[in-house]
Amino acid sequence: MEVHHHAHSSRKKWTHYFWEFLMLFLAVTLGFLVENQREHYIENVRVKEFSRSLVQDLQNDTTAINVQKRSGRIFIAITDSLLNHAQRPLEGRNASEFSFYTRFMYWTVPLAWHRATFEQIKNSGSLRYFKNYQLLEKLMEYEALVNGIEGEFHNHQTRGNMLLTMINGIIDPGLHHDLSKHQLLSLDTMSGETKENYFNIKTVPLENQRKEIKELLNMTVVQQRNLRFNEIRLQRATELANELINDLKKEYHLK
């Protein structure tokens, strides 16, 4: 009878398993580190792109704010002029000047905020890319400030529409038509000669419309008061926007 011997494979040493485990561990760890580094790189690229776009939006905002502040100062000055004219008999040249300035009292200059980038950052969950929490706080403060200013501007427009109704009952349609080619901001650069031509236009006396004029002046005073209050917020928005521009450029090495 033949006896068959079964071949037995030699048992591997524990060190072999240790090295296999170590190599596997290193491979997984290295893959994790590479992936983490890749994600970190992508985040840095995206946050830099967002920051560059934010800087552009903020620069556009400061330009728009300056226009808004300028129009607000013109409106405030016109209100004072109307109040002064109303202290004298509203006839002759005084009635013409009063009618001239009255035309611009319902005018509202919209402030077009550039919020697309920040809205995209919020909606995409990309706020986490911004690791500087002081910068984030400034961004949130700026957004809250913008919302407050927008809310007041909506009220300003509503009162402007109410003023238009009042003005329609006071100003001569022909003069209104002639003045319609001018905007509120144009008063800042309008020549003295052009103004004199309008001031010398003969208009009907306005003394018999004192009741309507009183209502109009009270509403313009409300507009003036709120524009003065809003100017403080616009100034803060300008300061904060400039701070954010400098912070973003410094934080993300933007030119």
Q: Is residue 26 part of a domain?
A: no
For the cut 80, the answer to whether the pLDDT of residue 9 exceeds it is: no
Residues 244/142, Cβ–Cβ less than 8 Å: yes
Q: What is the DSSP letter of 201?
A: S
Number of domains composing the chain: 1
CA gap 125, 209 in Å, rounded: 58
Instruction: Give me the phi and psi of 222, to 5 degrees please.
Output: -65, -45
Q: Is residue 16 part of a domain?
A: no
Q: Is residue 18 part of a domain?
A: no
Q: Is residue 82 part of a domain?
A: yes
pLDDT at 255: 79
Q: Is 10 helix (H, G, I), strand (E, B) or coil?
A: coil
Q: Is residue 15 part of a domain?
A: no
Q: Where does 169-203 have alpha helices with state H?
A: 173-179, 192-199
CA gap 152, 61 in Å, rounded: 17
Q: What is the pTM of this model?
A: 0.80
For the cut 90, the answer to whether the pLDDT of residue 88 exceeds it is: yes
pLDDT at 1: 47
CA gap 121, 44 in Å, rounded: 14
Q: What is the DSSP letter of 88?
A: S
CA gap 41, 14 in Å, rounded: 40
Q: Is residue 11 part of a domain?
A: no
Q: Is residue 208 part of a domain?
A: yes
- Name the residue with tokens 């013109």: 74
For the cut 80, the answer to whether the pLDDT of residue 87 exceeds it is: yes
pLDDT category of residue 40 using cuts at 50, 70 and 90: low
Instruction: Give me the phi and psi of 201, to 5 degrees please.
Output: -70, 130
Q: What is the DSSP letter of 34?
A: H
Range of the domain at 150: 35-251
Instruction: Tell the burial category of 189 from Cβ atoms under 10 Å away from its Cβ (0-12, 13-18, 19+).
Output: exposed
For the cut 70, the answer to whether the pLDDT of residue 117 exceeds it is: yes
Q: State mean pLDDT over 27-39.
A: 60
Q: Is residue 19 part of a domain?
A: no
Mean pLDDT over each residue of the chain, to the nearest integer = 86
92 Rama sector, left if φ>0, alpha if ψ -120 to 50, beta otherwise: left
